[in-house]
Amino acid sequence: MSGHSKWANTKHRKGAQDAKRGKMFTKLAKEIAVAARMGGGDPEANPRLRAGIVSARAVNMPKDNIDRAIKKGVGGLEGANYEEITYEGYGPGGVAVLVDCLTDNRNRTVGEVRFFFGKSGGNLGETGCVSYMFDKKGSILVEKGAIDEEKLLELALEAGAEDMVDDGEIFQVVTAIEDFNAVREALEKAGVAFVEASLTMIPKNTVEVAEEKTAVSLMKLLDNLEDFDDVQKVHANFDIPDELMEKIS
């Protein structure tokens, strides 16, 4: 799971920068709108919408922004209709990469994603070329200091979580898809503040990237993808040694 959790930790650090906050709000608003369009505007009856709102609140997204995105999703406001697409490919060092997108222009999105892969020395592949290397799981990120580690582990396991990963500045609680909502709700009731709560793709195995040049190219690819407005989430199966990750971060 190190590939996912290390990238999640890297994104958490980036998210603390004001320059990134606007992009985070844009991505979350799109996710909330799509969730509302697909499952309705009531978060209590729409788990995906509820998870989107939780993630939005975790980064202090204004309530007006959240409400506007819900209205847009259920038809109360005009806006683009987005489709969900996942692209797959290989980055530097043979690292498998999944790119989840929400787009109103498929041609624009695939062109940009292909460009980023090529620029890094990687390549965009066919559907199914790397997705089999990942399992879909629930992921709840909790910032260290928000709760005692043993207490969080106890709460998570009692609620049905599969595992908890300690990775630097965050804890990642991992659940089966069917247990995600129950675990998230249990932690909410216990007053645990989340950095993010969402369904994600976690690698079954990881690829070690120990060469600095390769690691820099890989992180640049992931960074470029994350910064692209059409991209919602990026998943990769890398394992970069902690000391090297610290150096290039």
| Confidence at 7, pLDDT banded by 50, 70, 90 | low
Sign, CA torsion 182/86/59/224: positive
| Confidence at 131, pLDDT banded by 50, 70, 90 | very high
Judge whether 2 lies within some domain: no
Judge whether 247 lies within some domain: no
- Whether 5 has a pLDDT exceeding 60, the answer reads no
Same domain? 54 vs 152: no
Same domain? 128 vs 157: no
pLDDT for the residue numbered 1: 34
Same domain? 33 vs 153: no
HSE-CB at 98 with a 13 A cutoff on CA atoms is 23
Same domain? 180 vs 229: no
Same domain? 113 vs 211: yes
Q: Rounded distance, CA 32 to CA 69, Å?
A: 6
Same domain? 104 vs 213: yes
Q: Rounded distance, CA 143 to CA 29, Å?
A: 22
Tokens 């709102």 locate to 53
Sequence-separated contacts (24+) of 123-127 with Cβ below 8 Å: 123/89, 123/90, 124/87, 124/88, 124/89, 125/88, 125/89, 125/90, 126/88, 127/86, 127/88
Judge whether 50 lies within some domain: yes
- Whether 2 has a pLDDT exceeding 50, the answer reads no
pLDDT for the residue numbered 49: 92
The answer to whether the CB of 201 falls within 8 A of the CB of 135 is yes
Strand-pair partners of 200: 137
Provide the residue range defining the domain that includes 177: 134-203
Element (H or E) spanning 135, and its range? strand 134-143
Which residue has better confidence, 146 or 142? 142
CATH number, position 153: 3.30.70.980
Same domain? 194 vs 145: yes
Mean pLDDT score of the chain: 88
Judge whether 181 lies within some domain: yes
The answer to whether the CB of 159 falls within 8 A of the CB of 187 is yes
Same domain? 103 vs 212: yes
Same domain? 117 vs 154: no
Which amino acid type is present at position 14? K
Give percent above pLDDT 70 in the chain: 90
Mean pLDDT of 115-133: 96
Strands (E), 16-93: 83-90
- Whether 144 has a pLDDT exceeding 90, the answer reads no
The per-residue pLDDT for range 162-220, each reduced to its tens digit, is 999 887 788 999 999 999 989 999 998 999 988 888 889 999 999 999 999 999 999 99
HSE-CB at 49 with a 13 A cutoff on CA atoms is 22
| Number of other residues whose CB lies within 10 A of the CB of residue 60 | 9
What is each CA distance from 146 to 14, 78, 141, 156, 195, in whole angstroms? 19, 39, 11, 14, 10
Total of domains in the chain: 3
Same domain? 99 vs 220: yes
Same domain? 167 vs 211: no
The per-residue pLDDT for range 37-90, each reduced to its tens digit, is 999 999 989 988 988 998 898 888 999 999 999 998 888 766 667 889 999 999
Judge whether 243 lies within some domain: no
The answer to whether the CB of 8 falls within 8 A of the CB of 140 is no
pLDDT for the residue numbered 105: 93
Judge whether 229 lies within some domain: yes
Same domain? 180 vs 199: yes
Q: How far is CA 185 from the centre of its chain?
A: 19
